[in-house]
Amino acid sequence: MVWMPTFDAENQVRDSKEDRPYVPVSRGGALLAEVKEVLSIIGKHKLTLATGHSAPDEALMLIREARAAGVDRIVVTHAMLPPVKMTVDDMKRAAALGAFLEFVYNALIGPNKVYDIGAYAAAIRAVGPEHCIISSDLGQAGNPLHPDGLEAFFRALRAQGFTEAEVDRMAKVNPAKLLGLL
């Protein structure tokens, strides 16, 4: 698994309005040569790409270039969550290009809650569970343990009308495909 920059991504630093060094993946609407080289290596070695905290337009460029470089396992890191902030249309484009979209429980809880489960459910339905991955994004002090968070996330999704098979697909089958285990 190879992640593009997360907390040091240019998009993250700009979105957080911080004054610190950052790592760009694009300039002037085009991916940097170094990023294209990394994508080539990912394709050559049959690794998995995570788009990190890239902006939606950058994530879509990464997906297109990765596919051209032979990368067939791609996930858009917590697609709706800031600083990524993909729209449903962006997510549909990413899915059409062959990427999975990640939805994380961490965005639904605590003082930094960004969404309620209804917004997530609507986005997942619009994109299709076959294109989605659900994970915890937990591990921080004060948050639930991963298993507890995932169990709560699964319950919340089932309460929104997702079937056990759909939850299993997003929590087990799709992640296994993403990692090349299926």
Q: Give, in order, the Cα–Cα distances in Å from 14 to each of 84, 104, 134.
A: 11, 22, 26
Q: Which pLDDT score is estimated for 121?
A: 98
Q: Looking only at Cα atoms, what is the longest distance across the chain?
A: 46
> 10 Å Cβ neighbour count for 139?
11
% of the chain at pLDDT higher than 90? 95
Average pLDDT of the segment spanning 61-72: 98
pTM: 0.95
Q: How big is the chain, counted in residues?
A: 182
Torsion of the alpha carbons at 18, 21, 25 and 31, rounded to the nearest 10: 110
23 lies in which domain range?
2-178
Candidates 125, 148, 118; CA nearest to 136 is 148
Here the CATH number for the domain that contains residue 131 is 3.20.20.140
| Mean pLDDT, the chain, whole residue set | 97
Instruction: Give the integer Cα–Cα distance in Å for 157 and 177.
Output: 21
Average pLDDT of the segment spanning 66-83: 97
Average pLDDT of the segment spanning 144-165: 97
| pLDDT tens for each residue of 85-113 | 999 999 999 999 999 999 999 999 988 89
Domains held by the chain: number: 1
Q: Which pLDDT score is estimated for 164?
A: 98
| pLDDT tens for each residue of 112-151 | 899 999 999 999 999 999 999 999 999 888 899 999 999 9
DSSP assignments along 10-62, one per residue: HHHHHHTT--S--B-SEETTEE-HHHHHHHHHHHHTT--EE-TT--HHHHHHH
Tokens of residue 174, six digits: 């799709």
Over 90: is that where the pLDDT of 71 sits? yes
> 10 Å Cβ neighbour count for 180?
12
67: confidence class by pLDDT, cuts 50, 70, 90: very high
Instruction: Give the integer Cα–Cα distance in Å for 132 and 47.
Output: 19
Over 90: is that where the pLDDT of 9 sits? yes
